[in-house]
Amino acid sequence: MAAIVSGETRSTCPYCGVGCGVLIKPDGVGGITLRGDPEHPANRGRLCSKGSALAETVGTSHRLLEPRWSGENVDWDTALDGVAKRFQEVIAEHGPDAVAFYVAGQLLTEDYYVANKLMKGFMGSANIDTNSRLCMSSTVAGHKRAFGTDTVPGIYDDLDEADLVVLVGSNLAWCHPVLYQRVVAARESRGTRIVTIDPRRTASCEGALHLPLQAGSDVALFNALLAEIERRGAVDATYTDAHVAGAAEAIAAAQASDPADTGLDAALLQEFLDLWIGTDKVVTVFSQGVNQSSAGTDKVNAILNCHLATGRIGKPGSGPFSVTGQVNAMGGREVGGLANMLACHLDIENAEHRSAVQDFWHSPAMPRQAGLKAVDMFKAVGDGRIKALWVIHSNPAVTLPDADRVRDAIAACPFVVVSDMTADTDTARLADVVLPAAAWGEKSGTVTNSERLISRQRAVLPAPGQAKPDWWILAEVARRMGWGEDFAWESPADIFAEYAAMSALAAEFGKDFDISALAALDAQDYDNLDPVRWPQSALRQGGRFFAEGGFFHSDGKARMLPLVPRAPASTPCESRPFRLNTGRLRDQWHTMTRTALSPRLSAHLPEPFVDMHPQDAARLGLEPASLVQLTSPQGKAILRLHQTEDVAPGNLFVPIHWTGMNAPAARIDALVAPLVDPISGQPESKASTVAAERFTAAWYGFAIASRAFTPSCDYWARARSSTGYRCEMAGLAVPANWEVYAKELFGMGDVAVQHMSDPGRSRHRIGFFDGDVLLAALYVGPEPVALMRDFLAGLPGQEAPWALAGLARGDIPDPGPVVCSCYAIGRNTVKLAIASEGLKSVDQIGGSISAGTNCGSCKSELASILRECAGA
């Protein structure tokens, strides 16, 4: 595969751990065109809605273009000298553990390697942790306990070849859409069965057997499976005798476990057990629903126990499969981005490993023990133990549990540096120094996806302004701290070569991560590097692990572990009766710094919401579209009510994406308690306990404008639209003069105003016009305002003198909320097509109105609309 083909450059999507290949071409005016790479083995040309919209997220309008120190632009020398000096001073005065790096799974492997080398090898502390701690560190811990190292045994082809795919705590349809499409394709072509294990009904349940287990009861479920495997004589004794230790103890613990803890109907549970045991080719996929738990590591091992007991591991179509959240979460695991790891899967607390790495790096000082994991790191920032913090491409002021305390801790930290592509994040706004980092499309390096496939990201655009690659920024600070010779790379290719050479140490210590065969790549080879699966050594290239044993414990055997189910750390009670689950949406990524730039993606679900069962809503006296306030001991959030039977009574679901930049009252991690798994340190993000009540505002509003605006009321949530911005609003105090309020809100000067009011009923509609062209409008009333929102959102900048009616004109239909992002097709349009043409299948919908025919990410929603229309 050539790096450049017909003017298109091969690269990798920057979002999720599927790691799809893309073909990018500069469009000549600062942007790009982009399509899926048909030759990339992860996606074979497919992209999901987020990947398809990448071209809408490049550009410079939102970018940080120069280094800033205390809000003033400075040159790079001033910024880098200052950062190096402050870190040196803190280390000299308070010791190396008074400094910390908090990095991200968005970093390229080369950037990660440099950050890790600088902190662990030269600054002399292990206080570097990554936001992947919040994503899949329980999997790392579970793999290490079972296999002796953090190895993903399988590859994506297993999903094509399996007869049964079990999704545990994984809404694959929304969070790893291209992989999900591969599973659906297998279902269509060879009848693969899908089971979804999730307390919540998600898009991944469409056409699957759904097991709505009690939150946190995964260990009880897989213990039940292991006990049943034993009862039915399905243990592969040949495999376990040769390759596994601890089977008898694990089975005894499973037999002592109570399947009733799962809360599942006995017949449904039995159907699952029969299916799993009766299907030889079974892949169990798991992700955040398993990992983000105070018992996450045990959950991982409960799944691994069943695959080890049956020898269903590392074989075509068979094995446990952790899917990673971020594009380079796996690369971070390999390179030592976690505070308890060294590079190349070596252990920081192992003196021999430490010494070998120190020799390799010619390092002056190596920490002897693990550093602070994410939650503890920010506690240390809060209590003053950490006095200098460098945050790279992450937004912990929003994403850490107990986010308000984390925000306060960062604000109070004596010295905070943030490297990012934008200064408009909750965390960057608290920093003393913000450094402009190159973004996706401008930087070059490698990423590793969930199946151990290393792919190149390649630069196709020049970095704007003074923006620089992360490896360069880190190496320049290292040079200014006196370690220039050890950080003297000239390119990412140099760094990769050093890293690959270092991985030979892993082989010396009997570890898995050995890519030493790639150490001899020259710059040209590196530039042309095709996707390649590790390991890559003289002895072994790619492939699956463990079909014939060969585990990485000293005796070469895997470990099955005796596991006792533990409920989530927090128990619902009278004052906090609801169980709060948090997670991702189909069309947004993390804290939206990139995806919120796309009007298409923003149109899918433009406002933060809480899923609540109708019985609970009725009990609380809530009507559709009410605002709901959730409260925990940590904080509060205000969200729009979405009544749905997808969540069970007593359970809530809230998406994670909104921040102080676009919906300050909806930062959901402000409510999540900082409770962690004792082994992995991963927070329990899916089982908090909260109270819920109506948020009664004095007024509710909806605003649209062609330019950005920032309200100052008690609740607001702003999103891009195709012609500008849309915003939901609510306030406790009624402004004295609505026209004055609206003018200030939109920053309007001397333009024409239309004001329709019904003062007796406190309703106002105020529009600003240039001739007949609508500039902005505000619709307010004493209760949530009924409007054709999705239609109105497209009006700013258009001739629309009738806009204050709030309705679609008779000759222009209201499309409703967007379902298909690729073709901007709304729910009403889909329903109309189904009703008027008698459509019966997702394919027929695609044939009629094209919905679902590009990336396919919306196919599950189309299927659910079909069911709804059929009255199912």
Residue closer to ligand SF4 by CB (options 588, 689) is 588
Assess 19 for contact with ligand SF4 (CB under 6 A).
Answer: yes
Cβ closest to ligand SF4, residue 18 vs residue 32: 18
Quote the least distance from Cβ 327 to ligand SF4, whole Å.
6
Q: Which range, of 8-16, 415-423, 485-493, 554-562, touches ligand SF4 by CB under 6 A?
A: 8-16
Pick the closer one to ligand SF4 by CB: 50 or 210.
Answer: 50
Distance in Å, CB of 281 to ligand SF4, minimum: 24
Q: Per-residue contact track with ligand SF4, 378 to 407, x per CB under 6 A?
A: ------------------------------
How many CA atoms are closer than 13 Å to the CA of 545, on its beta-carbon side? 25
Provide, for the chain, the percentages of residues in helix, strand and coil under a 3-state DSSP scheme, each rounded to the nearest 5: 35, 20, 45
Two structure tokens written together for 828: 């009403």
Query: According to DSSP H, which parts of 808-858 are helical?
Result: 827-837, 842-849
Nearer to ligand SF4, 19 or 724 (CB): 19
Can residue 172 be called a binding residue for ligand SF4 (CB under 6 A)?
A: no
Stretch of 16-24, 77-85, 508-516, 697-705 contacting ligand SF4, by CB under 6 A? 16-24
Shortest Å, Cβ 11 to ligand SF4: 11
Strand 763-770 with 773-781, pairing:
antiparallel
Tokens of 762: 């406190």
For the residues of 557-572, what is the DSSP string, one character each?
-EE---------SS--
Which neighbouring-strand residues pair with 744?
none
Nearer to ligand SF4, 51 or 336 (CB): 51
Stretch that binds ligand SF4, among 47-55, 390-398, 781-789, 812-820 (CB under 6 A): 47-55
Number of residues counted as binding ligand SF4 (CB under 6 A): 14
Closest distance to ligand SF4 from the beta carbon of 567 (Å): 33
* Per-residue tokens: 751: 């333009």
CB of 595 to ligand SF4, least distance (A): 10
- Using DSSP, state whether 665 is helix, strand or coil: helix
Read off the DSSP letter of residue 483. I
Q: How is residue 269 annotated by DSSP? A: H
Note whether 41 binds ligand SF4 by CB under 6 A.
no
The residue (of 19 and 121) whose beta carbon lies closer to ligand SF4 is 19
Query: Looking at beta carbons only, is 21 or 246 nearer to ligand SF4?
Result: 21
Nearest of 113, 64, 111, 78 to residue 463 by alpha carbon? 64
Strand, coil or helix: what is 503?
coil
Q: How far is the CB of 15 from ligand SF4 (least distance, A)?
A: 3
- Do the bridges between strand 32-36 and strand 21-26 make them parallel or antiparallel, or are there none, so unpaired? antiparallel
Tell whether residue 13 is a contact of ligand SF4 (CB under 6 A). Answer: yes
Query: Which residues make beta-bridge pairs with 5?
Result: 8
Closest CA to 500 of 486, 520, 485, 484: 520
Q: Closer CB to ligand SF4, residue 43 or residue 137?
A: 43
**Sole window of 18-26, 165-173, 291-299, 518-526 interacting with ligand SF4 (rule: CB under 6 A):** 18-26
Question: Residue 767 and residue 162: Cα distance in Å, rounded?
Answer: 58
Residue nearest to ligand SF4 (CB): 51
Among 9, 11, 20, 512, binds ligand SF4 (CB under 6 A): 20
Query: At its nearest, how many Å lie between ligand SF4 and the CB of residue 446?
Result: 15
Q: Which of 48, 224, 251, 748 binds ligand SF4 (CB under 6 A)?
A: 48
**How far, in Å, are 91, 284, 460, 704, 805 from residue 725 at the CA level?**
46, 42, 29, 6, 19
Hey, which residues between 175 and 194 contact ligand SF4 (CB under 6 A)? 176-178
Q: Which is nearer to ligand SF4, 10 or 50 (CB)?
A: 50
**Closest separation in Å from C-beta 51 to ligand SF4:** 2
Say if strands 128-130 and 99-103 run parallel, antiparallel, or are unpaired. parallel
N- to C-terminal Cα distance for the chain? 48
13 vs 335, beta carbon nearer ligand SF4: 13
Residues 6+ apart with CB under 8 A from 170: 176, 198, 204, 285, 286, 287, 288, 289, 290, 323
Q: Find the shortest distance in angstroms from Cβ 523 to ligand SF4.
A: 27
Collapsed DSSP state (helix, strand, coil) of residue 620: coil
The burial class, CB within 10 Å (0-12 / 13-18 / 19+), for 44 is middle
The region of 40-48, 91-99, 127-135, 501-509 touching ligand SF4 under the rule CB under 6 A is 40-48
Q: No. of H helices and E strands in the chain?
A: 29, 35
Name the strand (E) or helix (H) holding 729. strand 724-731
CA dihedral 577, 582, 586, 592 (to 10 degrees): 130
> What is the signed CA dihedral for 59, 328, 675, 416, rounded to 10 degrees?
-50
b/e for 210-226, b at 16 or more Cβ within 10 A?
A: bbbbbbbbbbbbbbbbb
Nearer to ligand SF4, 13 or 729 (CB): 13
Q: Please, which residue, 172 or 778, has the CB nearer to ligand SF4?
A: 172
Q: How far is the CB of 344 from ligand SF4 (least distance, A)?
A: 25
Q: How far is the CB of 248 from ligand SF4 (least distance, A)?
A: 41
Shortest Å, Cβ 644 to ligand SF4 = 25
Rounded-to-integer distance, Cα 764 and Cα 762, Å: 7
User: Which residue from 51, 317, 606, 655 is in contact with ligand SF4, where contact means CB under 6 A?
Assistant: 51
Name beta bridge partners: 652: 580, 612
Residue 453 binding ligand SF4, by CB under 6 A: no
- Ordered alpha helix ranges (H), 458-491: 470-478
Q: Considering the complex, what minimum distance in angstroms separates the CB of residue 857 from ligand SF4?
A: 8
Stretch of 45-53, 419-427, 673-681, 701-709 lying at the interface with ligand SF4 (CB under 6 A) = 45-53
Contacting range for ligand SF4; rule: CB under 6 A; set: 14-22, 26-34, 78-86, 574-582: 14-22
Closest approach of ligand SF4 to the CB of residue 694, in Å: 36
CB-side neighbour CA atoms (13 Å) of 778: 27
Beta carbon nearer to ligand SF4, 105 or 664: 105
CB of 134 to ligand SF4, least distance (A): 18
CB of 828 to ligand SF4, least distance (A): 26
Calculate the alpha carbon distances from 765 to 124, 772, 806, 809 in Å: 61, 16, 9, 17
Indicate which single residue of 18, 115, 264, 776 sits in contact with ligand SF4 (rule: CB under 6 A).
18
108: contact with ligand SF4 by CB under 6 A: no
Q: Identify which range of 2-10, 134-142, 172-180, 189-197 contacts ligand SF4 by CB under 6 A.
A: 172-180
Minimum CB separation of residue 535 from ligand SF4 in Å reads 23
Report the residue count for the chain.
Answer: 872
Q: Minimum distance between the CB of residue 55 and ligand SF4, rounded to whole angstroms?
A: 12
Q: Is 15 in the site for ligand SF4 (CB under 6 A)?
A: yes
Residue 469 makes CB contacts below 8 A (sequence gap 6+) with 111, 437, 438, 442, 443, 444, 445, 463, 492
Answer for which of 24, 32, 34, 47 binds ligand SF4 (CB under 6 A) is: 47
Binding positions for ligand SF4, rule: CB under 6 A: 13, 15-16, 18-20, 43, 47-48, 50-51, 176-178
